[in-house]
Amino acid sequence: MLTSGFVLGASAAHAGVNTGDIVFQLLMFIILLALLKKFAWGPLMGIMKQREEHIASQIDAAENSRKEAEKALQEQRELLKQARQEAQSLIENAKKQGDQQREEIIAQAREEAERMKEAAKREIQQEKEQAMAALREQVASLSVLVASKVIERELTAQDQDKLINEFIQEVGEER
């Protein structure tokens, strides 16, 4: 039994709770926690808070930049749309003006052609009248000449042909 008593005694010695050690370890643990909270946890939480605020401000700045970029993009699209409309309007106006000028040029050309045609007709008419007047003068002088020749003598058919030929030669020499 001795063996069994010895085993029981040893286990009782170990089974005894040393409250002094437990209190000391508990006290040291609490002091360690207080020191960690003051020197490690507090600054660490401050740094984490600063980091959180920094990230939040950057997110806000990025969101604001994105909104501004979208606004600028929308403005640029609107300006581009207006520029396209203005360009289309300018093109249409230029086409209309070109068509008007073309019509005016055609109308002026027609008027000028008509004026030139009328002037040419007048000139032709004047030339014709002058030619007729000259022809009348020649016919009159020929008539006088023929009459004077006829009066000088009686003409036979042969004499008449000869007289006409002479007259034609004389007229040809005058020209």
Confidence at 57, pLDDT banded by 50, 70, 90: very high
**What per-residue confidence (pLDDT) applies to 79?**
95
Tokens 């109308």 belong to residue: 107
Burial of 146 (0-12, 13-18, 19+ CB in 10 A): middle
pTM higher than 0.85, yes or no? no
DSSP letters for 67-93: HHHHHHHHHHHHHHHHHHHHHHHHHHH
DSSP letters for 35-70: HHIIIIIHHHHHHHHHHHHHHHHHHHHHHHHHHHHH
Cα dihedral sign, 9-11-15-21: positive
CA atoms within 13 A on the CB side of 122: 6
Q: Which two tokens stand for residue 34?
A: 């207080």
Lowest mean pLDDT among 86-90, 141-145, 160-164: 141-145
Residues 39-55 have a mean pLDDT of 89
**What per-residue confidence (pLDDT) applies to 10?**
47
- 23 vs 45, which has greater pLDDT? 23
